[in-house]
Chains A and B, each alone.
Chain A
Amino acid sequence: MQFSRSDRNGRLLIAGAAAAIAAVMVLVLIAGFRLATEIRASVAALQGTSVLQTYPAVISQQLTALRQRLQTLEYTGHVHRELTRTVRNFNLRLAAVERRNLDPAAIRHAESLWRHYAPQLAPVLAFSGEPYDDTDTGSSLSARGRKYYDQVRQAGIFAQTSAPVLHGALAAVSAALQARTSAAAARLRTLLLAGVLAVVLLALAAAYLQLSRARQQRAAREAQDQTRDILKTVREGFFLLDADYRIGAVWSQALTHLFGRSDFKGLAFEELLRDKVPADTLATAVKYIKLLWGERARENLMKSINPLGQLEVSVDNGRGGKESRFLQFDFHRVMGPKGVKHVLCAVGDITSSVLLARELQEAQENAHSQLDMMIGMLRADPLQVSAFLDSAAAGLKHVNTIMKEPARTDAEFRKKLAGLSRELHSIKGEAAALSLMSVAERVHRLEDMVAELTAKSELTGNDFLPVVLKLDELLAHLRGVREMTARLVSLKEGPAGAGTASLPQLRIGEAREPQAERPGRSCADLGALLEQLAGKLALDHGKRFALKLTGLTEVPAGYLETVKDCAIQMLRNAAVHGIEPCEARRAAAKPEIGEVCLQFRRLDPGYELVFQDDGAGLSPEALKEAAVRKNVLTAEEAAALDNRAALALIFRPGFSTRESVSMDAGRGTGMDLVARSVYGLGGKIGVSTNPGRFTRFKITLPAAGAAAAVA
């Protein structure tokens, strides 16, 4: 902008100089032409005056000749005629010189002299006819002739004295004309000199201007080149936004890489980000950009509220897919005379630093979780942990089997997801019960991923890759837990082995000892595990309840896993959904401390597990509403259900009345898991409730599976 303006100025100056040269030349020509004309006129007048100077003498001679001829009575006619012609010519030439009016004073003098002279000549010139009388005796002057002779004589006498004077006067006119001519010639010379000088000076000035303009242009070109080089080389994307929030004509090349396009000129800022960021972020960004033009937008303030300081965008990765990048937008206002002229926008790719920061955070979290894990394991019974690790390993093995199953159709993939989800949920529940939060959180995140996949409209094998990676991580973590447990056990047992006789030997990393060999121990473990979980759930959810366990020693080894899984899930449901907060219990005139009972007993044949809480109970209407909300049922289908069928909804996969997903509830995989395990063993499950009073689950298991299930 600056360059082109000065360039225009330079060009104007040069044009001005050229115009000045032309004007000077025209002026010199006009003035020179007038002077030359004047000189020409003067020269002509000078010539005329030179001829005029001779006339007085000629007239005088002719008068003398006339007088002599009259004396000798010779023929006078031709002399008279010559005189007449001479006088007439003199008059004519004098008038011509007078007309030119070049030096009035001198001419007037000559003219006045001639005015005295001419009357003397007039009677002579007026004579006509013959001045002689011819007789026989000879010729003599006639009376007119005598008079003529007298007039000629008098004129001659006058001429004798006047001719030199008139000649002198005419010489003066000539001299004046000469002086005048030479003055004009001198002026002409000066004029020409001055003209040439002026033209030379102006030409020099023009040349200087042209030179400096060329220098300026070179400088401008160089500056442009440098600007281009800068824009080509910088790693940030730079561009200017105008008052219509559109990108200007210049931007740095990095912008092309950052946004995978090159049609930035005139592009609206909104369009630049559209489809790359969520709609609400885009709306905020657009509002923010508008604010930058306002009076209140101070740089520091605007920097502090910049919503695009760390923006995650998805861009084409050049291989047909999309990838996530983190961009940082910085905005600087460019002020003009009338307020904000442009907003300079700098975009940097901070993906690597964001990822590094995340890695750091993850490392930190890992360190924390290891600490948590250690503390958790210090609290937990190593035997329980070991049992958990074994069952988790078995569960993950199952997961692996599920993952390996061939699948092509969407339905098959969804089936995989459902299986995955149930296994994970079960592992999470046990981990939480043992306060192994690092494990529980990892599984929770995996569940999140599975839930995301479930929500997708179309599934392919590639979608499972990140899940597999996370599963590997989980396995690695579980190995870490196992090692830690081993160390803790060796620590507890002590180097000297003092007082360790009573502790059972535990071989970490090997298959669990057959449960049947020490059923009492396992059942005691189960009781401890459930009590620990109950305490934790009560704390986490701000509930108060007592857990009553009866008959756990009756659980046969083959059913231990199933009873544990079911008990954990039902206990969790009771703590989260069933037992009301203390205030609600007080308000309902119920004992402040809730009661949760688990009773296991041998039937004949088979076994029975009854689980009951004295909480809020289940509301068939609420269950139906939730089922409709979650698209498990249509409104019509829901309306058609009776209370029994409504209660059975809780055994459906994906059903939960909780809106948000937390560690302990809300995934919707819970009671369906319990039901599936029970059905898997050939058992039955039933639910009964009294709203406001209790919820009771009754599970019956056949006698036959008790031994087989363990294999």
Chain B
Amino acid sequence: MSAAESIGRRQFRLLIVDDSNIMRRRIERSQRFEELAVVGTAGDGLEALELARRTDPDLVTMDLTMPQMDGIECISRLIAMKPSLRILVISALSDKATAVQAMEQGANGFLHKPFTDRQLNDAIAELIS
């Protein structure tokens, strides 16, 4: 926390959760926010929980279909751990019921795969504003 807040302006710690390595890299490279520092990337829900415990992120991008533990459960566990956490769901699942379920568990935003850089940055901007 102390390192992140070393400069005057608020810094956000970002954790990227997605089972696809390509997608993780894509998100990491595409985000254009100076106040965003990527503190970790996880490939499944369990790893995400472990990383979140260690790195205390402020913002998480979350895939829904993942091995070990799916995104919905991971969201509810993360929110239980840190209620102020902001979670952006990035998923290829298009049914609205899943999106509503994710929101219900505590997600703050929803972005459909595939997405453009602009859509990603707009979605993140809404979350950190």
Contact = CB atoms under 8 A, between A and B. Distances in A.
Contact of A287 (B100, B108, B110): B100
Contacts of B97: 280-281, 284, 307
Interface stretch (A162-170, A181-189, A297-305): A297-305
B109 A301 contact: yes
B104 A291 contact: yes
Contacts of B99: 304-305, 307
B48 to A, nearest CB: 20
Nearest to A302: B103
A296 interface: yes
A692 interface: no
B77 to A, nearest CB: 18
A307 B101 contact: no
B96 A291 contact: no
B100 A301 contact: no
B126 A291 contact: no
Interface in A267-319: 280-281, 284, 287-288, 290-291, 296-298, 300-301, 304-307, 309
A304 B115 CA distance: 14
Contacts, number: 41
A288 B100 contact: yes
25 contacts: A284-B96, A284-B97, A284-B100, A287-B101, A287-B104, A288-B96, A288-B100, A291-B100, A291-B103, A296-B103, A296-B106, A296-B108, A297-B103, A298-B126, A301-B103, A301-B108, A301-B126, A304-B110, A305-B96, A305-B99, A305-B103, A305-B110, A307-B96, A307-B99, A307-B100
A306 B110 CA distance: 12
A298 B106 CA distance: 13
Given A296-B103, A305-B100, 11 more contacts: A280-B97, A281-B97, A288-B96, A296-B107, A297-B103, A298-B126, A304-B110, A304-B112, A305-B103, A306-B96, A307-B97
Interface string A218-234: 00000000000000000
Which applies to chain A's interface (DSSP): helix, strand, loop or mixed? helix
A554 B124 CA distance: 73
Contacts of B110: 301, 304-305
Interface in A11-40: none
Interface in B48-102: 96-97, 99-101
Contacts of A309: 96
Contacts of A284: 96-97, 100-101
Nearest to A297: B103
B82 to A, nearest CB: 15
A539 B122 CA distance: 44
Contacts of A280: 97
Contacts of A305: 96, 99-100, 103, 110
Contacts of A290: 104
A589 to B, nearest CB: 32
Contacts of A298: 126
Contacts of A304: 99, 110, 112
Q: Which 6 pairs of residues, A with B, have the shortest CB-CB distance?
A: A307-B96, A305-B99, A284-B97, A288-B100, A296-B108, A287-B100
Which of B100, B103, B109, B126 has the largest number of chain A CB atoms within 10 A?
B100
Contacts of B112: 304
Nearest to A306: B96
Nearest to A310: B96
Contacts of A307: 96-97, 99-100
